[in-house]
Structure 1
Amino acid sequence: MAPKTSRISVAGAASSSPARPSPSVIHEQHQEAGPRDPPARGQAMSAMTPAQIERYVEAAAAALNLRVRPDHRAGVLCYFALAAEFAAVVEAVPLGAHDEPAVNFTPVAPPEPQE
């Protein structure tokens, strides 16, 4: 049985709840889990239509209080569509239960063309 801790609730009355396991215990339990779909990975996003991209960019700009100049708008929409295509490629790669993100990504220069 999990150890209990006592906390003071908002109303001031004491309440009992199970103690939270440490992050290392949670990590260990995660590593021992069998193959399954990682919870953060859902269904792949379908391609966005140009109208959806426009609405998304407008909403994101409004949320950030960011003004997109009219002469930059076409480029912003084009770049967002390109980024959405990149995201679809990444989402298409299946993840295993024990896949972990890289600690540090260090890009390497492409090889020089041989003459």
Structure 2
Amino acid sequence: MASGAKLLALYDAILAISQQMREHAQADEWDALVDKELERRQLVAALRTELEIAPSPLNPAEQTQSETTIKAILSLDEETRKLAERWMGELGEKLGSIKTSRRLQNTYLAP
């Protein structure tokens, strides 16, 4: 049976990795962010398994703590998502510029 302490530890571990993911996004370290996302998925899977075993093992204080942690995780995810969207937009602009450059080269430099 899952214990409240075990569930809270999983939530805290997910929070810690979410913070690291945001830091990697802020530093444009996308490969490291993906690695952390894979780690986090494993923790989320473990959390789901624990919750399936015992759906409501948290006392009211633990429930409040878990809700606070979940809100923090969601906030970090939102920040990380915005940073990733910004980066993807910049990458799209660069790719568009490269395509335009190639078209111009093919048009004006072709034999």
Greater RCO, CA 8 A, separation 6+: 2
- Does the alignment reach a TM-score above 0.5? no
Identify the structure with the greater helix proportion. 2
> TM-score, normalized by length of structure 1?
0.26
* Structure ranking higher in strand proportion: 1
Scaled by the length of structure 2, the TM-score of the pair is: 0.26
